[in-house]
Chains A and B, each alone.
Chain A
Amino acid sequence: MKRETLIWTIVFILGIVMLLGRAFLTEQGMGKAYVRAVEINADAPDPADRWIQYDNALPKDYYTAVARDPNQREYQFSPGRTIGVWVAAFFTLFILSFLIRDNPFYKIAESVVVGVSAAYWMVVGFWTTIVPNLLGKLFPEWVNGWAIPGLDAQAEWAYLAPLILGGMLLWRLSPKGSWISRWPLAFIIGTTAGIRLMGFLHADFLSQIRNTITTIWVTDVAGSFIFWESVRSLILVVGVLSSVVYFFFSIEHKGFVGRTAKLGIWFLMITFGAAFGYTVMGRIALLAIRLEFLLDDWLWLIDPAMKRMSM
């Protein structure tokens, strides 16, 4: 066996032994999930119309309830959600393992996320839009009978158009019939263009020019000149103009135009530096929440939100 493989095998075995030891041999354990049973429609005369919903509960609520009454059934240990926490933790570790090198665990995790996310989006699109906004508009009585019982509307046959266009769009999956999807795609492109043309023109062009037309002789209410505010205004106006000159490639960047464009580049470099700084900030927060999940919700090594403080 190669040395590297041997080292990794030992690390895995030690890791599993430590995890199982912490989970089963320590008093508090780790990675456990609890639920609170809530009765729904408790007053309904027909027992078939009553059921129990299980909301997430904190471990401290469970232990407080058990200490008060060991036979209580309101707060319970949840095997399904406990398995879920461990599955989530292992998926997190599988993805992080890519940092060492590409490996089958990472590929399995990647395959699962691709499949689950595509199906998730389909389910969301179906229940949030296709049922209420398409089928519910065309066949309200039918939808009333199984999906939205309170729906009370008249059929709107104008919605046949998006139904037909949607059907044509699905022909894209067929190798021979994909040309049929051109009409709905054309509609999508046309409406996107129409929506965005005006949005960008108004908010990003006209409004930005208007916002830049600002006074560079800033005074307070009494009329006294405020030096630093005026300097800021001047820098803003000069910055916008010089950066716009940089993007104007129809005139050669020589002489006065060249020097202005150079100033524009400097403003843009400061802009990109700020973007880099903020991007770093953003990415680190994403890592922080995943490591918090591993240390807090799975390993139970820390408890900053006091979810288990009463134990």
Chain B
Amino acid sequence: MKRTVPLMITALGGFVLIVAYFIPATQGWGEVAAIWFDILAAIAFVLGGGNLLKIHLKKASDRAPGWGYSVITVLAFLTTLSVGLGKIGVNPNPMYPGFPLSGDYREIGSPFWWLYEYAFKPLTATMFAMLAFYIASAAFRAFRAKNVEAVLLLGTAFIILLGRTFAGVYLTSWLPDSLFGLRIENMTITIMSVFNTAGNRAIMIGIALGIDPIWGRGRSDPCTNS
């Protein structure tokens, strides 16, 4: 029962969507399943937040190493949640001024907007900006032209890096029109539209062939592994 019912739900959900793809009369069932999926995705956000709270509260109460940072996480979480869910400092919708909670939860000037604009945005953007430094470090430490394949990879990378900036245009602008295709910016276009397309197409076909049996098989079902 604990294993059978979830498996049946999985199979039914997948089956409805596959059938809806082929039989127009059943398209409505597919839409219903997709809408329920979207609602559950929103509730999964709540689950994620709750899980975060659970982990960090436990860490703080157990006085585990770094528990002070967990307190900061919980405080940041609860502050953002309360101003966001309560629409604190948010004006109502101008069409319905008598309804305090009818306004836009992201209204400019509200505390929730402030937290997004001056905390969430710079922090997440800078986290990802750090990757530029790591890529430079990785380029110095890891990329060795040890064999033909590595030379091909690095050579292509150099052409792309030069060809997608003015440096490439400048370096080969002297080439005559008869050798138009050898200008770096045109080589870049050829590499992307021919070689890269061929390689990625093969990878896509391979992934598509791999995904279908995995989804269809359903032997390793996380619902039943506890």
Query: Could you list which residues of chain A lie within 8 angstroms of chain B, going by C-beta atoms?
Result: 35, 40-41, 44, 46, 48-49, 51, 53-56, 80-81, 84-85, 87-89, 91-92, 95-96, 98-99, 107-130, 133-134, 146-150, 158-159, 161-162, 165-166, 169-170, 172-173, 178-179, 182-198, 200-201, 204-205, 208-209, 211-212, 228, 232, 235-236, 238-240, 243-244, 246-247, 264-281, 283-284, 286-287, 289-290, 293
Contacts and interface: CB of A to CB of B under 8 A. Distances in A.
Contact of B198 (A162, A240, A279): A240
A276 B157 contact: yes
A158 B29 CA distance: 12
B37 A244 contact: no
B204 A114 contact: no
A205 B202 CA distance: 9
A186 to B, nearest CB: 4
B24 interface: no
Given A118-B48, A170-B47, A284-B132, A274 B99 contact: no
A187 B21 contact: no
How large, as a class, is the contact surface on chain B? 35 or more
B142 to A, nearest CB: 11
Interface of B: 2, 5-7, 9-18, 21, 32-52, 54, 56, 66, 69-70, 72-81, 84-85, 91, 93-99, 101-102, 105, 107-109, 112, 114-133, 135, 139, 148-150, 152-161, 164, 181, 190-209, 211-212, 215-216, 218, 221-224, 226
Contacts of A133: 35, 38-39, 42
Contact of A204 (B7, B46, B101, B204): B204
Contacts of A272: 153, 156, 199
B19 to A, nearest CB: 9
A62 to B, nearest CB: 16
